[in-house]
Amino acid sequence: MRRLTVFPTPPGKNSLWYWPKAKSPWRVIYNFLLITLSRYMPSLRIKNFLLRCTGMKVGPHVAVGAQAVFDYFWPELITLEDNCIIGYNVTILAHEFLTSEYRIGPVVIGRNAVVAANTTVLAGTRIGANSVVSAASLVNQDISDSVLAGGVPARVIRKRRTRADKQSAG
């Protein structure tokens, strides 16, 4: 189950028309500029600094690939834990606007997780530690620790052996 908070909007217009009431337009512009700049930044240190300036929680040694885009409205709901990798052109959203409501929810990418190129991660989901999500997947529910997942929607393909498992096996 996704962890989402639902906000109903008045009838007559879809919820996207009400975004300035939900979030300061100046804050959204600020987030947009920093996230857009980070999309083209080759330096991981500077990229992580720019993302932290939006309120995102970015752990040490996080690597974000070129063209990755993060939620402009609620980046503070996104956590990238230590040593995770976000691939080329990945989209991570912490909100969704629907016709009569909008929803927001935290997104956590676990320690040592990999989210491969062209994947979309939706609001209210968690990708577990040491997991890999294959390219061009749609994450619309939690992915447990130490698994390979993929597809549209993403499903667990198999359990992954961690470094500790391999060492203890000999």
Dist CA 43 CA 51 (whole Å): 12
Dist CA 135 CA 92 (whole Å): 14
Q: Are 27 and 77 in contact (CB under 8 A)?
A: no
Q: Are 149 and 143 in contact (CB under 8 A)?
A: yes
What is the assigned CATH class of domain 5-168?
A: mainly beta
Q: Are 107 and 139 in contact (CB under 8 A)?
A: no
Dist CA 116 CA 154 (whole Å): 12
pLDDT at residue 164, as a whole number: 64
Q: Are 127 and 42 in contact (CB under 8 A)?
A: no
Per-residue pLDDT of the chain (170 residues; tens, 9 = 90+): 789 999 999 999 999 999 999 999 999 999 999 999 999 999 999 999 999 999 999 999 999 999 999 999 999 999 999 999 999 999 999 999 999 999 999 999 999 999 999 999 999 999 999 999 999 999 999 999 999 999 999 999 999 886 666 666 66
- Write down the pTM of the prediction: 0.94
CB atoms under 10 Å from CB of 22, counted, come to 17
